[in-house]
Amino acid sequence: MCGIVAYIGKREAYPILIKGLQRLEYRGYDSAGVALLNGDLNVYKKAGKVSDLAEYVKGKNVDGHVGMGHTRWATHGEPNDRNAHPHFSQTQEFAIIHNGIIENYASIKAELIQEGHVFHSDTDTEVLIHLIEEIYNKEKVVLEEAVRLALGEVVGAYAIVILSKKEPNKMIAARKGSPIVVGIGKDEFFVASDATPIIEYTKNVAYLNDGEVAIMDNGKLTVKTIGNEIKTPYIQELEMKLEALEKGGYEHFMLKEIYEQPRSINDSMRGRFDSKTGSIRLGGISEFDKKLRNAKRMIIVACGTSWHAGLVAEYLIEDLARIPVEVEYASEFRYRNPIINEDDVLVAISQSGETADTLAAVELAKSKGATIFGVCNVVGSSIPRATHAGAYTHAGPEIGVASTKAFTAQVTVLTLMALQLAHMRGTITESRFRQVLNELENIPAKVEIALKCNEQTKVIAEKYRDAKNFLYLGRGYGFPVALEGALKLKEISYIHAEGYPAAEMKHGPIALIDEEMPVVVIATKHGSYEKVVSNIQEVKARKGKIIAIVTEGDEEVKKMADYVIEIPETDEILVPLVSVIPLQLLAYHIAVMRGCNVDQPRNLAKSVTVE
Ligand code: G6P
């Protein structure tokens, strides 16, 4: 939520900033801006996309070897030019970009107004840079000291970068609650919300910890805490590949990421099990072996798509490992005084590893003594750093705002986790264990086959592109998939869609069904197949239109449904991994046909770092 990028070194900063902003645009896209130091401190900012900003600065002075850029997702103040970042201080000698929220900005603002400060935006951010300048002038300290002292006064979450005309060879960055990664080159530094703007210049990075300030001054990096303690930055090498950040010939990142799933699912299981020897090893689990094996209860916290993966995990873990599981929306969990015991294991699922509510739920459970296990995609992000143990999903960077490959990677890792726990606890027979492991190996190939329904989903999309509502139904392992299918459609096509347990439809949504209502049903040949067939009949009796996802060769549903999409047969517990594919494609094609911005749907952001 909001992306920041900054550069100090010998290169021209502007091209690095604008390219970096394009990479970060998935984090927010209601306005963008840059600041450049070149004797002057020039700020250019504009409501709209990064491309609007690039157009706006054409012909303007963007020289400078020090600069910073920001792409915004509005929290305080509507998205317009005024509220866009960077923000100036009172004298316009200091500027800031900020990702996060300064909660006590109103009281600080009131004090500064008393001192004669005049504000030009409605943002909390502008208050912080005025405060920094005030301290700089009053206390007669260097820039980093003014930043440090100001941060001591603010309450809230931030990732910030500060530049000042007064100290033109210096760049200051700081974080608390919002991510900052510092890229380290030869006599040059890059700062960004994540590694994507940095990767083509350097692979050496240091992730700032909460409460740390980075001072980049004449080719030297110093890290200290807000409490003024010097820290040695931990420099690590990025594994990310540049190609992962490009569309690679696809029209949208979302489509590319949908098609990447055979590979990403494979990557998420690679090296983690051997079906021949019947062994499975998620490093994080082995490390906390005893705690996890003896867990009295597991609490899964997540948001959005990750919450749906959590629901699949609930079914898997209860089914296989026989540990009671509760799945919670992180935002509800953290505010409702939940009961958390020392023998509970909390599993936090997050693609970005930065979702503020999920992170806060982790901290809460940690403070109560629970063991925390993370299932995250972005390496080095905040949630994995806050957990006791975990497993990365290794799906590679996901750029499309609507999550696709991250979901299937999460479900893959959670399946392995459930299997390993079941094996350790002796709640699964050896033959069943091996059977599932064998079938897991076939999943990438089956996903590849499922992707062949692309043309068929286009035909269905054409037919229903103007529908006002959609209903998605599923039972058992098909239920979380129905929720995920409905979420995909809502997010990117703006059609209202609801996911429902198929049997529960009778208690409400059935009233909505008429000849206008498309109903997508997960009707694969498993446990409750016959019951799902009855639910389809209930829909047909009310003239609803059925789009059914069925197992290859199914004849029964074909007779009733308006459209059927066949997917390869697989083990019931692995059905989410294959059945979600046609739903992702259907949502994608409907959104494209409706002219929606698939990769950057309105009002959404990829990484929600505000509560
Ligand atoms: C946002 C994104 C969703 C994502 C959710 C949770 O709403 O748009 O795609 O599922 O956040 O994000 P996380 O990074 O924690 O998985």
Least confident of 125-134, 266-275, 484-493: 266-275
CA 132 / ligand 1 centre spacing (Å): 33
pLDDT tens for 291-305 read: 888 888 999 999 999
> How many Å apart are CA 98 and CA 40, to the nearest integer?
21
* Mean pLDDT of the 363-369 span: 94
- In the chain, pLDDT over 90 holds for what percent of residues? 78
pLDDT value of residue 542 = 87
pLDDT value of residue 1 = 66
CA 305 / ligand 1 centre spacing (Å): 6
Q: With 90 as the cut, is the pLDDT of residue 266 above it? A: yes
**Identity of the amino acid at 93:** E
Q: With 90 as the cut, is the pLDDT of residue 365 above it? A: yes
The residue behind tokens 């866009």 is: 84
pLDDT value of residue 249 = 82
Q: Which of 512, 587, 565 is nearest to 543 (CA)?
A: 512
Confidence class for position 247, pLDDT limits 50, 70, 90:
confident
Q: In 3-state terms, what secondary structure has residue 182?
A: strand
> Considering the entire predicted model, what is its pTM?
0.83
Output DSSP code: residue 243.
G
Check: CB of residue 415 under 8 Å from CB of residue 573: yes
Q: Residue 220 forms beta bridges with which residues?
A: 217
How many Cβ atoms sit within 10 Å of the Cβ of residue 227? 8
> How many Å apart are CA 586 and CA 462, to the nearest integer?
10
Q: With 70 as the cut, is the pLDDT of residue 462 above it? A: yes
Asked if 606 is an active-site residue, the reply is yes
Confidence class for position 577, pLDDT limits 50, 70, 90:
very high
Q: Which of 188, 232, 192 is nearest to 212 (CA)?
A: 232
Check: CB of residue 34 under 8 Å from CB of residue 57: yes
Ligand 1 nearest-atom number relative to CA 305: 10
pLDDT value of residue 345 = 95
Asked if 596 is an active-site residue, the reply is no
Ligand 1 touching residue 355 (CB < 6 A): yes
Buried b / exposed e over 493-527, threshold 16 CB at 10 Å, is bebebbbbbbbebeeebbeebeeebbbbbbbbbbe
Ligand 1 touching residue 600 (CB < 6 A): no
The residue behind tokens 């930065």 is: 354
Ligand 1 pocket test: pick from 29, 375, 377, 403 the residue with the most ligand atoms within 8 Å of its Cβ.
403
Ligand 1 nearest-atom number relative to CA 358: 15
CA 378 to chain CA mean position, Å: 8
Q: 297-302 and 344-350: which strand pairing? A: parallel
Q: Residue 212 forms beta bridges with which residues?
A: 175, 225
Confidence class for position 610, pLDDT limits 50, 70, 90:
low
Which residue's CA is the closest to the ligand 1 atom numbered 4?
Answer: 304
Ligand 1 touching residue 401 (CB < 6 A): yes
CA 570 / ligand 1 centre spacing (Å): 28
* Mean pLDDT of the 585-601 span: 94
Q: With 90 as the cut, is the pLDDT of residue 573 above it? A: yes
Ligand 1 nearest-atom number relative to CA 491: 8
* Mean pLDDT of the 61-89 span: 89
> How many Å apart are CA 307 and CA 310, to the nearest integer?
5
